[in-house]
């Protein structure tokens, strides 16, 4: 304020002094305003990791509780839970590519058929349901106002990407010790994702796939893979029926498959120009954003465990 008052005298004596004072005052205010913004940003910056971690925990805790409930219950409860999640995932995929006019009803019916085949049948019945989905899709496509090959192709993507993966999860749950193996796969996937996230933030230097997902790094990938393998191996130490060598192979399969599933969904989103697949989990996106890695890991987990039993 003292600086402002000192300019009052010269301002009265001539126009030059007035304009000079005005410019000085403006520069001073702008400088102070910029400095205040920089100081405020500096004070706020350290809070972001903590708030992001808290947001992740708020999403992860109820999601883990729901997953454990479904896996422990098994049977129709497990299949119904997967059907609900699968419908949400399919809806998010079809919404991202709405312009292709996907045949949503065909996708949902095929998902139900695959899960029922996995619950009450086996691999041959799941294969039969997957094959039957094609003529079903063709028939429902012809009933569309604007039938298109692109719509059929996108619908099939949802059926085979989401539906077959969830059917494999049902088949895995039905195998001997399937409950424990499904939990092991989820543990490996969750720890791998968490390890990749924090490993990338702390040590990430080299981009993994900048054209698909710019934030993923090679260092994060490697740390996440180690966490996934160790997570499954440690979980297996509490399961006396699971040999350590089997746990390591299962962990390695999850460690390799889960990041591919993550990148696959990132590619789908990038091609559609979408940041998040949905908003069911608030700031952490949709169901596909949370299950992308699981959709690949469940398939690999099923075939690995099938080879052992």
Could you tell me the pTM of the whole model?
A: 0.81
CB-CB contact of 71 with 173 (8 Å)? yes
Q: Is residue 29 part of a domain?
A: no
User: Helix H segments across the chain?
Assistant: 2-6, 8-13, 15-44, 47-73, 75-96, 104-120, 123-142, 149-158, 164-174, 178-203, 218-236, 244-272, 287-308
Among residues 129, 145, 174, which one ends one of the domains?
174
**Average model confidence (pLDDT) for the chain?**
85
pLDDT value, residue 41: 45
pLDDT at position 63, please?
Answer: 80
In a domain, 47, yes or no: no
Q: How confident is the model at residue 224 (pLDDT cuts 50, 70, 90)?
A: very high
Which of the four pLDDT bands, split at 50, 70 and 90, describes residue 39?
A: very low
| Predicted confidence (pLDDT) at residue 107 exceeds the cutoff of 80 | yes
Average pLDDT score over residue span 96-106: 94
CA distances from 203 to 45, 90, 192, 197 (A): 19, 35, 15, 10
Question: Is residue 111 in some structural domain?
Answer: yes
Residue-wise pLDDT for 45-72, tens only, equals 444 455 566 766 677 788 889 899 999 9
Same domain assignment for residues 197 and 161: no
Is residue 189 within 8 A of residue 60, CB to CB? The reply is: no
pLDDT, tens digit, 9 for 90 and up, residues 259-288:
999 999 999 999 998 888 887 876 668 899
pLDDT score recorded for residue 9: 40
Say if residue 5's pLDDT is above 90.
no
Kindly state whether residue 137 falls inside one of the protein's structural domains: yes
| 188 and 141 inside one domain | no
Q: Is 91 helix (H, G, I), strand (E, B) or coil?
A: helix
If one counts the domains in the chain, the total is 2
pLDDT of residue 50: 58
Per-residue model confidence (pLDDT) at position 283: 64
Q: Are 155 and 163 in contact (CB under 8 A)?
A: no
Provide the residue range defining the domain that includes 225. Answer: 177-309
**In the prediction, which pLDDT does 52 show?**
61
pLDDT in tens, 158-210: 999 999 999 999 999 999 999 999 999 999 999 999 999 899 999 988 999 98
- Number of C-alpha atoms within 13 angstroms, CB side, residue 309? 18
């Amino acid at each position: 304020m003292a600086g402002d008052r000192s300019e009052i005298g010269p301002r009265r004596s001539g126009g030059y002094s007035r304009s000079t004072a005005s410019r000085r005052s403006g520069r001073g205010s702008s400088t102070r305003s910029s400095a205040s913004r920089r100081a405020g940003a500096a004070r706020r910056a350290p809070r972001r990791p903590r708030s992001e971690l808290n947001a992740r925990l708020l999403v992860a805790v109820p999601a883990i509780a729901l997953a454990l409930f479904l896996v422990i219950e098994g049977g129709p409860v497990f299949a119904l839970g997967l059907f609900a999640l699968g419908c949400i995932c399919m809806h998010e995929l079809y919404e991202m590519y709405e312009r292709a006019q996907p045949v949503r009803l065909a996708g949902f019916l095929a998902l139900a058929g695959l899960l029922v085949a996995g619950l009450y049948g086996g691999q041959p019945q799941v294969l039969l349901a997957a094959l039957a989905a094609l003529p079903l899709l063709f028939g429902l496509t012809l009933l569309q106002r604007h039938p298109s090959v692109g719509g059929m192709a996108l619908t099939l993507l949802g059926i085979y990407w989401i539906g077959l993966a969830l059917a494999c999860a049902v088949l895995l749950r039905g195998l001997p010790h399937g409950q424990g193996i499904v939990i092991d796969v989820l543990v490996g996937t969750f720890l791998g994702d968490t390890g990749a996230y924090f490993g990338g933030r702390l040590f990430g230097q080299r981009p993994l796939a900048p054209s698909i997902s710019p934030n993923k790094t090679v260092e994060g990938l490697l740390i996440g893979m180690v966490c996934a393998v160790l997570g499954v191996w440690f979980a297996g130490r509490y399961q006396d029926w699971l040999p350590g060598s089997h746990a390591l192979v299962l962990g390695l399969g999850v460690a390799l498959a889960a990041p591919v599933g993550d990148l696959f969904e990132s590619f789908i989103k990038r091609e559609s120009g979408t940041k998040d697949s949905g908003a069911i989990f608030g700031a952490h996106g949709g169901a596909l954003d949370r299950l992308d890695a699981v959709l690949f890991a469940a398939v690999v987990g099923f075939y690995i465990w099938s080879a052992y039993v």
